[in-house]
Homo-oligomer: A and B are copies of this chain.
């Protein structure tokens, strides 16, 4: 019976290990910062063997990226409001909340850490970027499918997300709703070739 239950919940143990490891990474990041702990320390905190982590994630960089993506997707899911303006305003507001929150610069810190961690780090950083860009691209594709004009994903990165990240990083003023809405309005009012 226990066997059958286990069979009905494939990855039940895998899911518990995943959750414990993600929580351990999140705790270690907030206590020490990115790049300041090892796979062994994550394993000890999560109560799992080092080998479980290496088998599942391969290396610390991939694990960090997986945790960052899960948090990003939970905190700033890609909205689908029916209009590009609605989607972008909703998304920009979520990113603003995320980057001004307690773990605000998580993505910037992670990107800096990964960029300093050799080839593996650079690959993990690229995976993170590609996955988020893919999600953003599907929002923009939906808009084009509805017949709306839409900027490129990189234009959204350049003129909506980059200013918010850099302002928080450099400690420039609060990201007011007016400011965030203004970034989106300005992007949407630009004529694209």
In the assembled complex, which residues on chain B have CB atoms less than 8 Å from the CB atom of A162?
Answer: 158, 162-163, 165-167
| Chain A contacts with B in 120-157, Cβ cutoff 8 A | 122, 125-126, 129, 154, 157
| Chain A contacts with B in 36-70, Cβ cutoff 8 A | none
Interface centre among A116, A126, A162 (most CB of B within 10 A): A162
Between A and B, 19 residue pairs with Cβ closer than 8 Å are A33-B116, A105-B112, A108-B169, A111-B170, A112-B112, A122-B171, A126-B171, A129-B170, A154-B172, A157-B172, A158-B167, A159-B159, A162-B162, A162-B165, A162-B166, A162-B167, A165-B166, A166-B166, A186-B190
In the assembled complex, which residues on chain B have CB atoms less than 8 Å from the CB atom of A165?
Answer: 162, 166
Q: Give Cα A124–Cα B173 distance, bound, in whole angstroms.
A: 16
List the interface of chain A (C-beta within 8 A of B): 33, 105, 108-109, 111-112, 115-116, 122, 125-126, 129, 154, 157-159, 161-163, 165-167, 169-172, 183, 186, 190
Closest residue of B by beta carbon distance from A189: B190
Contact A169 B33 (CB under 8 A): no
Q: Give Cα A158–Cα B171 distance, bound, in whole angstroms.
A: 13
Q: Give Cα A174–Cα B33 distance, bound, in whole angstroms.
A: 29
In the assembled complex, which residues on chain B have CB atoms less than 8 Å from the CB atom of A159?
Answer: 158-159, 163
Contact B111 A115 (CB under 8 A): no
Closest residue of B by beta carbon distance from A32: B116
Chain B proximity of A82: nearest CB distance (Å): 28
